Amino acid sequence: MSLLTEFREFAARGNVVDLAVGVIIGASFGKIVTSLVDQIIMPPIGLLLGRVDFSKLEWVLVPENPATEAVEKVAIQYGAFINTLIQFLIVAFVVFLLVKGINKLRREQTPEAAGPTATEVLLAEIRDELKARP
């Protein structure tokens, strides 16, 4: 089988298409969550904390020197990190809810475990008889 034929067969499988759709939707969902955190959640929190803009919070290690262009400002941007952490928590919670829902659907679709079949009962009796013999 040629490499091209094998790749075409691989790409035509439903799993690959589902994965591609999932990646595209995931990327879009990530942008929505970023917008939600940056533009809806953090402004009221910043307002409650004394008009703090979290995206601008940073610890400056090396200040910017306007006289030279060679040295850039070096800063730890912990405000952006807080935004990213909140985004992660939202995405993790949504994924948790999705997995929980899928697991619930799977449990509902799985038939209840019936008792042992007649063959299993017969085999268990034979096993028990063999164990009882000296």
Q: Is the pLDDT of residue 1 over 70?
A: no
Query: Pick from 64, 73, 67, 43: which is nearest to 55 by CA?
Result: 43
Domains in the chain: how many in total?
Answer: 1
**Boundaries of domain holding 51:** 3-132
Q: Considering the entire predicted model, what is its pTM?
A: 0.58
The CATH number that applies at residue 92 is 1.10.1200.120
What digits encode the pLDDT tens for the residues 4-36?
888 877 777 767 777 888 888 888 888 888 888
pLDDT at 16: 75
Distances (CA, A) of 42 to 34, 49, 75, 90, 122: 11, 10, 21, 13, 67
The C-alpha atoms of residue 47 and residue 88 are separated, in whole angstroms, by 22
Phi, psi of 17 (to 5 degrees): -65, -45
Across the chain, which distance is largest between two alpha carbons, in Å?
99
